[in-house]
Structure 1
């Protein structure tokens, strides 16, 4: 696959948004205090990650549809400009590089997006330094009354095309759940394309991506957890699958930790989290 289709592939390969855990009574699970915070933080960081990926997804699609992604010559007879992915927003462009602005408006959120069934509302404001297919290009995303499926996202994302087929995301923000509960997250995530280079656009079926990085998550009571990708188990995202299908995250607390396991590569909605690596405290949850 040629470099020119990579940004489109990333857009179509965004992570799923919804993240609902199997509901269990904490006393029935035999965990409380620190481990309960770690358990909740496991779910919350997944929500944060997926909302951030979704925002970057919208940005890359908008950049392509608004003609600020860079040249898209035909590849093996396929013209990329005639095969843009669809999304549920209107976009407008103003000013010039290195402060070109894109406003991505999702409206009032009264209608679900037909592409994935999620409800979004509000505006993502983007300032880009150059055509985003150029290595070294940057973009800063900020949010105005922005919600995804009832979750409000605040803060900023600084996106960088750091190397060929590699992008980084410096992410600092606050997420408020529909019930009013909120948390903060910060960190840097790197996405690298790992498969699909040999096939031309628009064949994206074999495209795969590896996701690494370290973040922290802090709840309303100032309890902090460090989130890392487990060594040897990078997260794997395939374009043909709606969810992460492989890899592990570790959330470290003062005395206990949780492992989120996304599976063995099967494309499904299931993952598990465990406390301190114990099979006694291992629970399934649905990615959406």
Structure 2
């Protein structure tokens, strides 16, 4: 049995406020599945912010220099301090108080990105802090730490740690979150100044989302997640979902660059979803 639920993270501001379905299935009647949508939205936002961090901190061209002001791929204004090749280096990505829109995403506020060293160097850390920041009126708080843990030069690897994460949707519902994942790069290693051919795999880890009512949902990597830099969302892989009445699997599909995924409950009910 399949149900269709549309979240529209990138189109509709109220996308993750709730999901519903006209059905007598017990999973719909007994379970507030808002946390599933919030969890996927949180992960998608984290990926977007890391992609922005990589975009503005990656040197361009043969000079190996980063540049100030507007950067291709984002409508924000970028400033860098210091401008010399010394670290730590702080990048401020300012989307403005009224926001600016790219690819149907309106972002407001700032991302403060601190590099302890080049993100491609083992041991270096990229820390992303959100300051009065929102995506399509969905407020996001917390810190992302992206630390290079590479041991094999041909397979770059990072840990992604989220602390004090908080999502507030347009209805004022609050979801706190935290988690740790391992990410490795499987394509694009030979073109360090080009991001569009990069492919990343999230090979393990989990994150926990807690609603304001105290309900907790844990999502654990069951099958490696695949994220192409050129795609806005994860395109392949599975997450195990556990918490409250929810016990099932999120499946991101067959590596297509789209916003579709499914949630399959333990009773066999399949929900077709879109971000």
TM, length-normalised to structure 2: 0.79
Residue 257 (structure 1) aligned with residue 252 (structure 2): no
Residue 235 (structure 1) aligned with residue 225 (structure 2): yes
CA distance in 2, matches of 1:130, 1:203: 18
Residue 49 (structure 1) aligned with residue 38 (structure 2): no
Residue 104 (structure 1) aligned with residue 90 (structure 2): no
The correspondence of residues 1-288 of structure 1 with structure 2, limited to 5 A, is 18=10, 20=15, 23-25=19-21, 28-31=24-27, 36-37=31-32, 39-64=33-58, 74=62, 85-95=72-82, 98-113=87-102, 116-163=103-150, 164=153, 165-172=156-163, 173-197=165-189, 202=194, 204-205=196-197, 207-211=198-202, 212-230=204-222, 233-254=223-244, 256-276=246-266, 278-279=267-268, 281-287=269-275
Q: Which has the larger share of helix?
A: 1
Extract unaligned runs of 5+ from structure 2: 1-7
The number of residue pairs the alignment matches comes to 253
Q: 2:4 aligns to what?
A: none
CA distance in 1, matches of 2:189, 2:110: 34
Q: Given that residues 183 and 201 in structure 2 are in contact (C-alpha distance below 8 angstroms), is that contact kept between their aligned partners in structure 1? A: yes
Q: Given that residues 188 and 194 in structure 2 are in contact (C-alpha distance below 8 angstroms), is that contact kept between their aligned partners in structure 1? A: no
- Counterpart secondary structure, 2:240: strand
CA distance in 1, matches of 2:232, 2:210: 28
CA distance in 2, matches of 1:131, 1:248: 31
Q: Which has the larger share of strand?
A: 2
Which structure ranks higher in relative contact order (CA pairs < 8 Å, sequence separation ≥ 6)? 1
CA distance in 2, matches of 1:182, 1:256: 19
CA distance in 1, matches of 2:20, 2:233: 23
TM, length-normalised to structure 1: 0.76
